[in-house]
């Protein structure tokens, strides 16, 4: 039986032996001036002891040998993140690039650092980080500055290249549609508040109601599941004053629809419901769901364009692309009874 030999040492091994961060190792390898001489010697000694051979993204760019893009993504079966990843892999393949996906359970500092180091050891030409949550901000700030990187759904204040859907405008379109039908106000079942997408939809919902001079109902915070939508829907179904609901994604909307049906509240005759995402099944809900469509293909292609621009030094490291969202009108919205 053939056995595998020991793995080659990685940058994280050098950092651990030298007692420094992987960013410091990166600075030593790139002869950065802002490293103390004693630290530089310690890192060099660790490199020699381990026999570490650096495979850096920047060097791969110079030689033109890398056709590999590294993706850092949360391990998720949610429709949005999974669709985004699939669309990016296709966009990359269309331009001759392969994609190496590093999945993490949580977008925290240690998990992201480990995946980034593995990608750099693979000599990736650049990185794409699908970073939906605020907890990732600190970890993402530690990606070496010389590595071409684009964030999808990241923090707009991070100062790095970003591509995202206009969540605020999408939510505003949904709420405005319900108000235009004659509803006095709109209740919102949100996603997790630490997600940037969820925060944008909450902001758009609240802004639109305030600008219209309408009462802002209490926020019903949930996760992204139909089960949580059902739980929120059970409460809303018992409140006769509720005539319009904006759910932060289509799965939440599905749960709301089930709860309303069980309570005898007809959609859209008694309560109007709008979702977000436009999952493939949304047109087959009962009734067919009015929702807000995100173009994951447009996001993926924009992210790839920004990344290729950085590789060729034709675009900046802090460019932002906002992809519009589209309201899709079906049969789950009507004027209040």
What CATH superfamily classification does 167-293 receive? Response regulator (3.40.50.2300)
Secondary structure class of 73 (helix, strand, coil): strand
Structure-token match 């001079």, residue found: 213
Residue 287, preceding bond cis, omega within 30 degrees? yes
Superfamily of the domain at 64-165+296-323: Response regulator (3.40.50.2300)
Are residues 289 and 273 in contact, defined by beta-carbon separation less than 8 angstroms?
Answer: yes
Class of domain 11-54: mainly alpha
Tokens 């850096």 belong to residue: 56
Long-range contacts of 239-242 (CB under 8 A, 24+ apart): 242/187, 242/271
> Any alpha helices (H) in 147-269, and if so which ranges?
167-180, 196-211, 226-237, 250-262
Helix (H, G, I), strand (E, B) or coil at 36: coil
Residue 190 is encoded by which pair of tokens?
Answer: 């949100």
> What are the boundaries of each domain within the chain?
11-54, 64-165+296-323, 167-293
Intrachain domains 64-165+296-323 and 167-293 with the same fold: yes
What tens-digit pLDDT sequence spans the chain (337 residues)?
344 445 678 778 888 999 998 778 878 876 677 788 889 899 989 888 888 866 544 444 444 447 899 998 888 788 888 899 999 999 999 988 999 998 888 777 778 778 888 888 888 888 998 878 877 766 666 677 778 889 898 777 777 789 999 999 999 999 999 999 999 999 999 999 989 999 999 999 999 999 999 999 999 999 999 999 999 999 999 999 999 999 999 999 999 999 999 999 999 999 999 999 999 999 999 999 999 999 999 999 999 999 998 888 765 556 889 999 999 999 999 999 8
The contacts of residue 203 (CB under 8 Å, 6+ apart) are 167, 168, 171
């Amino acid at each position: 039986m053939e056995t595998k030999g020991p793995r080659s040492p990685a940058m994280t091994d050098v950092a651990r032996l030298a007692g420094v961060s992987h960013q410091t190792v990166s600075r030593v390898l790139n002869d950065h001036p802002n490293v103390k001489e004693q630290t530089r010697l310690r890192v060099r000694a660790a490199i020699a002891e381990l026999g570490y051979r650096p495979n850096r993204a920047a060097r791969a760019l110079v030689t033109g040998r890398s056709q590999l893009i590294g993706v850092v993504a949360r391990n998720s079966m949610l429709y949005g993140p999974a669709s985004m990843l699939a669309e990016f892999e296709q966009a990359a393949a269309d331009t001759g690039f392969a994609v190496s996906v590093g999945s993490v359970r949580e977008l925290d500092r240690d998990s992201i650092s480990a995946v980034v180091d593995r990608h750099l050891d693979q000599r990736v030409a650049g990185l794409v980080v699908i970073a939906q949550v605020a907890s990732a901000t600190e970890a993402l700030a530690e990606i070496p500055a010389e590595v071409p990187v684009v964030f999808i759904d990241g923090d707009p204040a991070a100062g790095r290249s970003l591509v995202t859907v206009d969540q605020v405008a999408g939510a505003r379109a949904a709420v405005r549609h319900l108000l235009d039908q004659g509803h006095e106000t709109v209740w919102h079942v949100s996603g997790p508040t630490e997600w940037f997408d969820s925060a944008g939809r909450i902001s758009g919902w609240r802004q639109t109601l305030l600008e219209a001079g309408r009462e802002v109902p209490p926020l019903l915070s949930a996760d992204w599941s139909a089960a949580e939508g059902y739980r929120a829907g059970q409460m809303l179904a018992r409140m006769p004053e509720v005539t319009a609901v904006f759910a932060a994604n289509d799965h939440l909307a599905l749960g709301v629809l089930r709860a309303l049906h069980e309570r005898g509240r007809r959609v859209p005759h008694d309560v109007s419901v709008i979702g977000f995402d436009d999952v493939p099944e949304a047109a087959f809900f009962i009734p067919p769901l009015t929702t807000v469509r995100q173009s994951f293909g447009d996001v993926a292609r924009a992210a790839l364009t920004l990344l290729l621009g950085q590789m060729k030094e034709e675009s900046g490291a802090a460019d932002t692309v906002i992809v519009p969202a589209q309201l899709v009108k079906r049969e789950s919205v009507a004027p209040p009874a």
